[in-house]
Structure 1
Amino acid sequence: MHKNEEMYGESIEFYDIAALPHSNVNESILKKFARMTDMNEGVIVDIGAGTGRNIMELAKYTPTKELIALEPSKYMRISFMTRLVDNQEMQKKITLLPLSIEEYNFEEKISGILCMGVLGHLNENQRLYLWNTLEYNLQSNVPVLIEILDKRFLSMNKGKRISVSYQGRLRYESYINDIKKIDSNKWEWMIAYKVFDKDKLINRIESPMYWTYNSIESILEELHDIHFRGVKLSESLLLAKKI
C-alpha cells in the first residue's frame, strides 16, 4: 500500500469532519446492499474500514449479521474504537481486526464485502491480488460494494477549498494546496487542514496523500476477467457479484 500511515497520525483529527460533505454512499444504496447480503449466509467484511463510518451505518440495516472490519492503520483503529465504545450495540456486532486483506484468513462464509476508498492505496499487482482473493474465497452472488476516487478530484484547481464543517464554535476547512501526477495513474495531493475560531486561524496541518486512480470502467473490466458481473452506480461507486 502507499505510505499514507504516517500522514494519518497528524490528520486523523480532520479525517471524518473533512470527509463528511463528500460521502458518496447514501442510505438507499446501503439498504439495497444490506438486502443483498441477507440472501447469503455468513459475515460481512469491510476491507480497509477506516474510522468505521460505512460499516457502522451498514450495521443499522443488517440486524442479524455479524460484521468484520479490517483496518491495518493504528490511527484509523483508534478513531474507530472511539466510535464503538460509545455504542454498545455496534460493539457487539462489529469485530475490528488489525489486519490487511492479505492477512485475513477467510475461514468463515462471507455474505458481503465492502471495499470503500481502498483501491487508491493499491498498486496494480496488489489490486489484482485483491480480485483474485475475492474470486477464490467468495461464493456466487455475494455482493461487493466498491468505492473509488471521484474523477473530479483529478482536475481541481490548486488552492481550492474542498470541505468546510463546524464543531461547536470552530470551523474546519480543507484545501488542495498542490496536485501532481507522478506516474501514469498515480497522483500526489498536498492537503491543508485549517481550524478557525471565528476568523482566527488556530491550527494548520499539511499532509501528503498518494493515490492510484482507475476508472469505474477499467475496474469493471478487471472484475469481468475474473468472472464478476458489475454495474456502475455513479462515477465513484460500483456493485459487483461473483458469477
Structure 2
Amino acid sequence: MTDPYAGSAEYLDLLIAGFWEAAAPDVASVLAELPPGSGAVVDLGAGSGRGVRVLGEAVPGVPVVAVEPSAVMRAALMPRIVDDPDLRDRVTVLPGGALDEVLPGEVRAVLALNMLGHLTGPERRELLERVLRALVPGGVLVTNLAPPFEPVTVPRALMARTEVGELVYEGYASAEPSGADGLVWRMEYRTLRGDAEISAVTVEYPWCVCSEEELVAEATALGFGVRRVGDPALGLHVLGRSSAGASALA
C-alpha cells in the first residue's frame, strides 16, 4: 500500500503545529476530567506525536499507545518519544492502521484527530464500535470534523505557513468530489528562500467526508453521548461512554 505521506512528511509536523497550539488546551481540559484509574490512553493516527505529548502530560503515569501506519511519520514520532524519558517509558508505538491494531483493555481515552476521513463510512462505524467496547465508564473518544462535510469542489487556498531560519514553508489545499461521500485532496507544499522556491511537492489522497449530523447519529445509536468543545473552527467533538447511556449533542 502506498504511503500517502511519503512525499510530504517533511512539511507535516511544521504545518500542523498551529492546529495543535489551538487544540491542545481543549483536549487537555477534556482529559483532565477522566475518571481515576490505570487504564491506557490511545492516539489513533498519532502522526509526528504532538497528540502523544498532550496525552502524556494530561494523563500522567499510565500507558500510552500510539497507532501510526505511516513509516515516515513514525520516523518523526519516535524521536519525540525517545528524547522524553517519561514518554520513552510509557509509550508503545504500533505500526498498523486504526482498525488493524487491537485496543488494550480498560481504555480511558482515545484521540482520533485529523484522521476520520481516512476511513470509509462503514470503517468509521466499526471504529466507533471498537472504541465503545474498549472504553471504561466515563472514558472518552476525542475527534474532530473539518469542512467540507459533503463532496464539493474546494478551491486552492493557503492552509498554513511558517518560518524556520531563513526559509518559509507553505501548504496549500484543494479538493474535487469523488463519489457520493468522498473527496480527493490535492496538497501542495513549498519551501521558499526569499522569493525563490527551492523545493516543492504535490500529493493527492482520498478522504471520506462526514457531517456532524452523521457522526452524532452513528455515535448515539451505539450509546455514546456527544458534545462539542473549544473553538467551533477546530471541530472538536467528545464522544463519552457512561452508564447512563447516550445524550443529545451539547
- Identify whether the pair has TM-score above 0.5, normalized to the shorter chain: yes
- Percent identical pairs in the alignment equals 21
Query: Aligned pair 1:37/2:34, yes or no?
Result: yes
CA–CA distance in structure 2, aligned partners of residues 101 and 141 of structure 1: 22
Aligned runs of 1:142-153 on 2, under 5 Å?
142-151=139-148
Name the CA distance, whole Å, in 1 between partners of 2:40 and 2:217.
27
User: How many Å separate the matches in 1 of 2:5 and 2:130?
Assistant: 27
CA distance in 2, matches of 1:67, 1:39: 15
Code of the residue aligned with 1:137 in structure 2: it is: A
Aligned position for 2:103: 106
In the other structure, the counterpart of 2:248 is: none
Cα pair distance change 1:80/1:199, threshold 3 Å: same
CA contact (8 A) 2:162 2:170 kept: yes
Give 1:100 deviation, angstroms. Answer: 2.5
Partner in structure 1 of residue 221 of structure 2: 225
Q: CA RMSD in A?
A: 2.3
Cα distance in 2 between the residues matched to 1:21 and 1:106: 29
Taking the aligned partners of 2:99 and 2:107, their CA distance within structure 1 comes to 16
Q: How does 1:72-87 map to 2 (within 5 A)?
A: 72-87=69-84
What is the CA distance between 1:107 and its match in structure 2? Answer: 4.2
1:64-93 deviation line (CA, Å, top 9, x unaligned): 222111112211111101222222222222
For residue 197 of structure 1, report the CA deviation from its aligned partner.
1.0
Q: Paired residue for 1:183?
A: 179
Matches of 2:180 and 2:120, distance apart in 1: 12
TM-score between the two structures when normalised by the length of structure 2: 0.86
Q: Which runs of 5+ in 2 are unaligned?
A: 246-250
More displaced stretch, 41-50 vs 152-161: 152-161
Contact 1:120 1:149 in 2 (8 A): no
1:131-164 CA distances to partner (integer Å, 9 max, x unpaired)?
1112223232211111222449987863322211
SS in 2 for 1:184: coil
Task: Quote the Cα distance in structure 1 between the aligned partners of 2:157 and 2:143.
Answer: 27
Structure 2 counterpart of 1:241, which letter?
G
Which whole-Å CA distance do the structure 1 matches of 2:18 and 2:77 have between them? Answer: 19
Aligned pairs, number? 239
Alignment partners' CA distance in 2, 1:129 and 1:186 = 18
Where structure 1 has 5 or more consecutive residues not aligned to the other structure, the ranges are none
